[in-house]
Amino acid sequence: MTDRMVVAGLGYAGAAIAREARARGMEVTGTARDPAAARPPAGVAVVGFADAAEAIRAATHLVVTAAPEGDGDPVLSAHAGAIAAAPALRWIGYLSTTGVYGDRGGAEVDEATSPAPGQARSARRLAAEQAWRAAAAGRGCALDLFRVGGIYGPGRSALDDLRAGVARRVAKPGHAFSRIHRDDIALAVVAGALRPDGHRVLHLVDDEPAPNADVVAEAARLLGLPPPPLVPFEEARARMSPMALSFWAENRRVANAATKAALGIAWRCPTYREGLRRILAEEARG
């Protein structure tokens, strides 16, 4: 039987997942709030989010990228009946966040660490994870909870910030971020779909948590630009948005060894260095 994947949320990461799944021979349908404005990868069908029930009932695999709202997970709210009635559905992948671990003072968390969200949006993600656990258990299908680090890739990286003249190198000793290239999200999600195994927590982060200043400096080097001057965090915070400040308020290093072993993968971009070069190479190809 042909594998049929529905990607609920054909945005930045969702489109990359759809492209990867299509390349692996799956039939793929993505949802969009406005299908007329969507730009799906080649060979990927698009349906309106509200009209996705038929596609979900026919799916063997379901990927959920949509963020939870105030009243819960929007996919479960709109399509729980279709999910329960999907006869061939055997795997669900939910994109959550490493933010569910909260602030760990720079300590490492692994796939077995208990969540302790410190932000309201992360608490909503954890609640959505729990709702998907219940849905998958009731449905009797495999579930992968992908806890995702900071996402970057073409159009969303320090390279773009430097070109726009808005990049800053913020110095906060001991503080590092775990991040992941968009294409490695796609790699891992499709690998999980093709190798389902019960209910798993998986970490989508690369192999090297790194300070903001190091990433910006490497991007500047690749572009042949002088790096922006280092700005102490206490000085930089005065110009940060509340959202940015919430990210800087938490410091943890996210491990990924169990995830790579479970999925049988190696990252295309094991650190931000390879990731930035991959972006430039894609830009060069046009």
Q: What angle do CA 254, 259, 249 make, to 5 degrees?
A: 20
Domain coordinates in residue numbering, the chain: 4-151+180-206+253-267
Integer Cα distance of 26 and 20 in angstroms:
9
Of 169, 99, 85, 104, nearest to 128 by C-alpha is 99
* Residues forming beta bridges with residue 69, ordered by sequence position: 72
- Domain made up of 4-151+180-206+253-267: CATH architecture: 3-Layer(aba) Sandwich (3.40)
Question: Taking the CB of residue 275, how many other CB atoms lie within 10 A of it?
Answer: 25
Per-residue pLDDT of the chain (286 residues; tens, 9 = 90+): 799 999 999 999 999 999 999 999 999 999 999 999 999 999 999 999 999 999 999 999 999 999 998 889 999 999 999 999 999 999 999 999 999 999 999 999 999 999 999 999 999 999 999 999 999 999 999 999 999 999 999 999 999 999 999 999 999 999 999 999 999 999 999 999 999 999 999 999 999 999 999 999 999 999 999 999 999 999 999 999 999 999 999 999 999 999 999 999 999 999 999 999 999 999 999 8
Give per-residue pLDDT as tens, 165-187. 999 999 999 999 999 999 999 99
Instruction: Give the model's pLDDT for residue 284.
Output: 96
Q: Which helix (H) or strand (E) covers residue 227, if one does?
A: none
Per-state percent for the chain, helix, strand, coil, to nearest 5: 45, 20, 35
* Residues forming beta bridges with residue 210, ordered by sequence position: 177
Give how far the C-alpha of residue 108 lies from the chain's centroid of Cα atoms, to the nearest Å: 19
Helix (H, G, I), strand (E, B) or coil at 47: strand
Of 220, 116, 114, nearest to 169 by C-alpha is 220
**Per the structure block, which two tokens stand in for 185?**
């999200």
Instruction: Give the model's pLDDT for residue 286.
Output: 83
Instruction: Give the model's pLDDT for residue 48.
Output: 97
Whether the CB-CB separation of 95 and 63 falls below 8 Å is answered with: yes
Query: Does the global pTM surpass 0.95?
Result: yes
Instruction: Give the model's pLDDT for residue 71.
Output: 85
Give per-residue pLDDT as tens, 253-275. 999 999 999 999 999 999 999 99
Instruction: Give the model's pLDDT for residue 19.
Output: 98
Instruction: Give the model's pLDDT for residue 260.
Output: 98
Using alpha carbons, list the distances in angstroms from residue 210 to 9, 71, 274: 29, 35, 13
